[in-house]
Chain A
């Protein structure tokens, strides 16, 4: 994934930014007041903002969705920021996985690793909080939350059983 740089703006808020493959500096300013600002810079003058757009909570979510990011993933990553030591990850069910076609309950992920499966992403569809009888298919991406250690053990279980 593209590296996002975070810069504190004392008294203003935080700035997250990255450079696109065409060389435009793009970023979001999270104002302390909760206001969010999207900005773009000209390729030839990366120092100055050329265009800004103010977004409220709803609009930010709408834009993220329109861009193809999952709102589930976003709220999980918010959670991660609030709870120290909590990790999230995206685990793919590979073709070789013994759990392809099995239910989430069959993996006994929670019992064995303490990791929760908070959502399953299948193609463009999101299944938030899937139940134990939810059937996994090849190429499903599971959004999981737990300790970093538990997640790596679950990764092992998924590939080797």
Chain B
């Protein structure tokens, strides 16, 4: 069989298998992310059988996956929501950062990984999965609950925190000399601040420029613009992911909503490849060695998230059960933990990070929603006032 045919067959088999996995995850009512990871771990390096012909293509798909995930993260909230979120939950948001970044950071130092890899592990344990949590809120019908705005605004705050953490980690990952790194971080932070300011003031104008009544024209211009900015960012050592995030933040208003609906199918395709590829390039034989650390980190950072959710909901005047729901729903980690671990590729001292992050996300993406479901106290149908 010639190379072209083999490539199509192999890639087709992978994407088809990912499709079946997505179907299964719907049936089981869990996030597909841990299942994609497991599929990637099961094959490839150290797994059941290798993927040879299409690995390059899947790797490129995975790179696009990161770009799409961050573009969509930037698009997810409007500039107004970001500003409002910053004001309303700043104390809870900062406490969240402190309490959930530290366990990973400290664990990294204790494992003797060194400062930079420890910072990456801190990022892995910090960010909750807005994808998994949004799905959870929908599935459990919690959108009308009084604690839900609290949970969502904490996620908005984490999104803003990503705007600072991501450029810093992106630069550190490249291992430049301290001077170059400081310049690049400064540049990235200025670009991020400029994008936020621009989105707040003139976001609709960029949207109006990029957007057209034709879906085709809109899709191509947004996608093209994102790749250009991602490429430029990569060119000045800030990492493509940060560039994509910048575009997502810069486009706002109605345009952002349309971009979201146009880009979601593409994001689903490439993000699935990204999670799969992360599993593929992680040697599953390394996981048992770090599993204990992953479990301990999981228990600690589940407790810290529950505390944050509890505390923030209490401040908002929510009752006992609502505080528990708020805390439990924040436990889930997913896509962004994997993205951060992926950024660390090639960082000296972070060799165990992919395996640890994979194990950690497998635990948290499954345990988080399960624990939250546990808090669902059965549906009541008699809603009238007691006679």
Contact = CB atoms under 8 A, between A and B. Distances in A.
Interface residues of B, number: 39
Contacts, number: 98
Contacts of A41: 144, 383
A39 B380 CA distance: 12
B141 A49 contact: yes
B96 to A, nearest CB: 15
Given A9-B152, A15-B143, A37-B143, A50 B381 contact: yes
A47 interface: yes
Interface string A4-43: 0001111111010100001111010101110001011111
A27 to B, nearest CB: 6
A48 interface: yes
B46 to A, nearest CB: 37
B161 interface: no
Contacts of B319: 45, 47
A149 B238 CA distance: 54
Interface in B63-85: 76-77, 81, 84-85
Contact of B149 (A9, A32, A48): A9
Given A45-B319, A47-B319, A48-B377, A12 B144 contact: no
Given A47-B321, A51-B379, A51-B381, A8 B84 contact: yes
Contacts of B85: 10
B152 A40 contact: no
Contacts of A47: 145-147, 318-319, 321-322
B134 interface: yes
Given A10-B85, A50-B380, A39 B144 contact: yes
Interface residues of A, number: 33
A12 B137 contact: yes
A37 B156 CA distance: 23
B144 A11 contact: no
A42 B383 contact: yes
A45 B142 CA distance: 13
A139 B232 CA distance: 68
B155 A9 contact: no
Contacts of B144: 15, 17, 27, 29, 37, 39, 41, 49, 52
A11 B319 CA distance: 24
Contacts of B321: 45, 47-48
B379 A11 contact: no
Nearest to B261: A33
A46 interface: yes
Contacts of B77: 10-11
A92 to B, nearest CB: 33
B179 interface: no
Contacts of A33: 261
B383 A50 contact: yes
A8 B81 contact: yes
A30 to B, nearest CB: 10
Contact of B384 (A9, A22, A45, A52): A22
Contacts of A7: 149
A51 B383 CA distance: 8
Interface string B113-155: 0000000000000000010001001100111111111001101
Contact of A43 (B142, B146, B152, B386): B386
A46 B146 contact: yes
Interface of B: 76-77, 81, 84-85, 130, 134, 137-138, 141-149, 152-153, 155-156, 257, 260-261, 318-319, 321-322, 325, 377, 379-386
10 cross-chain pairs, A with B, having the tightest CB-CB distances, nearest first: A39-B144, A47-B322, A22-B385, A49-B144, A10-B81, A47-B146, A50-B380, A40-B383, A52-B141, A43-B385
Given A31-B143, A46-B146, A51-B379, 20 more contacts: A8-B81, A11-B76, A11-B77, A11-B130, A11-B155, A12-B137, A13-B143, A22-B384, A29-B143, A32-B260, A33-B261, A37-B141, A39-B144, A43-B383, A43-B384, A44-B386, A47-B319, A47-B322, A49-B142, A51-B383
13 contacts: A11-B77, A24-B384, A29-B143, A32-B260, A39-B143, A42-B382, A47-B318, A48-B325, A49-B141, A49-B142, A51-B380, A51-B383, A52-B144
